[in-house]
Homo-oligomer: A and B are copies of this chain.
Amino acid sequence: MQELAAQDGAEYLGLSTQQQFDLMAKAGWNEAGTREQAAVVNQLAEKYRIKIYPREIGGVPCYFLEPEHVLSKNRNRLLVHLHGGAYTGGGGSGASWEAIRVSAISQMRTVAIDYRMPPEFPYPAAIDDAMSVWRKLVQSNKSARLGVFGTSTGGAMTLLMVQRAKKERLPLPGAIFAGTPWADMSKTGDSYFTNAYVDNVTPTYEGGLQASALLYANGRDLKDPGLSPIYGDFTRFPPTLLVAGTRDLFLSNTVRVHVRLLESGTEAKLVVLEGQSHAQYLFSETAPESHFVINQVVNFMDRHLSR
């Protein structure tokens, strides 16, 4: 068992937002399952021969992933990872989960950011933490050698980081991967409707996503570009890889970002996986589709990051 269970969200259906919050709190979602997560992460790290060191960067807790062999071309390269989990899960030791395979297969060092989350820390704590790490990293690294990536909420945060780095006139990463990004936190987008109950990872918007969105937004409009990057600026983006599935609740989130990037003249590559639900490549570690996605990420970073 090397997988973190997908949360099907069925337990949230029919409950009020307050009841959903209570259920989340009862599940202790923030530190929740930390022990189980740690076991999964340790097993995966062992299998892929990755050493994981906790390290604080810019005042933010991170995990530093060191592959057994770092290719010489990757010596000065570094990947930065943002975990998924709807801003209400996936933190703690689980923060390095997705990064293990990418780090191992790319043979690149990776920093996984364990950003703060609700209920204690709603918007903008998570993205503020990501920016603190970025600000620190670009002080001592050429940004063209840095790649940023994440899936779902991590994919949205990857896009938000670039948008905010542009605003703050910080250097931009050499390439990014936004896997099926939560680009629109409001229920706007075709596949929130067409793929409802078709997606078997995140069957509905109402099944936990909405409550998480409201909890993180903390009263802000869900279409605020600080929350939903689709409403932000897509000019001057670095080369961007996007991945979704045909039965992905976030298919529209993904393709809307892709079209915006194409319109701005960005080198943006979209891959849509046959029959795959939201972020299924994370949950089905050994499926051919999952290998395909990880290889796409690795090749994309290798092609675009400076040495």
Contacts and interface: CB of A to CB of B under 8 A. Distances in A.
B270 A271 contact: yes
Given A246-B255, A259-B292, A274 B194 contact: no
A259 B274 contact: yes
A262 B272 contact: no
A166 interface: no
Interface string A234-263: 000000000000110001100110110011
A190 B273 CA distance: 10
A252 B255 CA distance: 15
Interface string A206-233: 0000000000000000000000000000
B259 A190 contact: no
Contacts of A259: 271, 273-274, 292
Interface in A257-307: 258-259, 262-263, 269-275, 292, 296
Interface string A186-205: 00011100110010000000
Copy count, this protein chain = 2
Given A274-B189, A274-B190, A296-B262, A251 B246 contact: yes
A203 to B, nearest CB: 13
B275 A271 contact: no
Contacts of A275: 190, 252
A199 to B, nearest CB: 10
A48 to B, nearest CB: 23
B272 A251 contact: yes
A263 B256 CA distance: 25
A272 B247 contact: no
* A-B pairs, 9 with minimum CB distance: A255-B272, A190-B275, A190-B246, A270-B270, A194-B198, A256-B274, A252-B274, A191-B246, A246-B252
30 contacts: A189-B274, A190-B246, A190-B247, A190-B274, A190-B275, A194-B194, A194-B195, A194-B198, A194-B246, A246-B251, A246-B255, A251-B272, A252-B274, A252-B275, A255-B272, A255-B273, A255-B274, A258-B271, A258-B272, A259-B271, A259-B273, A259-B274, A259-B292, A262-B271, A262-B296, A269-B269, A270-B270, A270-B271, A270-B272, A272-B272
Interface of A: 189-191, 194-195, 198, 246-247, 251-252, 255-256, 258-259, 262-263, 269-275, 292, 296
Given A190-B247, A190-B275, 20 more contacts: A189-B274, A190-B274, A191-B246, A194-B194, A194-B246, A194-B247, A246-B251, A246-B255, A252-B275, A255-B271, A255-B273, A255-B274, A256-B274, A258-B271, A258-B272, A262-B271, A263-B292, A270-B271, A270-B272, A272-B272
